[in-house]
Amino acid sequence: MEERPVVLITGCSSGFGYETALLMAQKGWRVFATLRNVKKAAPLKTAAQGLALEILQLDVDSEASVKRAVARVLKKARRIDVLVNNAGFGAYGAILDFEDAEVRAQYETNVLGILRTARAVLPSMVANRKGRIINVGSVAGRVTFTGMGLYCSSKYAVEAVTEAIRLEGAHLGIEACVVEPGMFHTSFGANRRWAKRWEKKRSLFQVLIDRMVAFMNSRKRNGGGGTPVAGVILEAATAGKMAIRYPVGWDAWMLTTLQKVLPGGLFEGLKRLALPK
């Protein structure tokens, strides 16, 4: 029998990572689903019964944890065909409200975490002269929103990191892409971290961020939970030639299209008008 392709996925306790791990296992992949806190693995473990899916601990904020997890996968499977960098969170609030520690935490996970895992899997991929790195970004990596500037900036960085990996890894057989979801019904919103100044009602932008929160709570989400994003990640993993970007959801397509066709000032004005008074 042909050997199963091997995928390592980060951030699998819920949402996109959870759905992607299950879908790829169902489609015949050997899946190593990783979580920062394995105490949250029970739902995935139950759902994955009978599938070629193994759960491992991996905290993308820790280089030692990343290296241990990758070494375990290589010991068991001898290779990693695809890395899915899904782990991340959103820090919300006015960009000038965040203290240095809050900024570092956002970049530690969303940017440095991707670089750590990519560095760890690179030698094995180069040895096999092939490998794919799929970074889960966001439409917020293409379009900046009020009250999301720090998160957006981290996802803009993911776009640049992905492009650099594609340019520099091509001659080694390494491909990369970024998946750009819009807003979906997942646990991502519940895991947001808010600027402490806003939470303590000490922000100079308090009223503006209050309006942003009202707008976010009223927005229509894309349907299907994390399933549509998982489907696109699988599409990228199996494509004959990966595209650079994969927008997912009506809002991701609409916003990136409007950004392309509208003058910059007009597009910025529309984003301001969207907030409730």
The two structure tokens encoding residue 198? 């806003």
Element holding 175 (H helix, E strand): strand 174-181
The two structure tokens encoding residue 235? 């599409």
> One of 18, 92, 151, 156 is an active-site residue; which one?
151
Asked whether the beta carbons of 219 and 175 are under 8 A apart, the reply is no
156 is catalytic: no
| Among 210, 203, 200, 110, residue whose Cα is nearest residue 150 | 110
The two structure tokens encoding residue 270? 């529309």
Residue 211 CA to residue 168 CA, distance in Å, equals: 42
Asked whether the beta carbons of 21 and 33 are under 8 A apart, the reply is yes
| Among 171, 83, 78, residue whose Cα is nearest residue 131 | 83
Catalytic residue list: 151
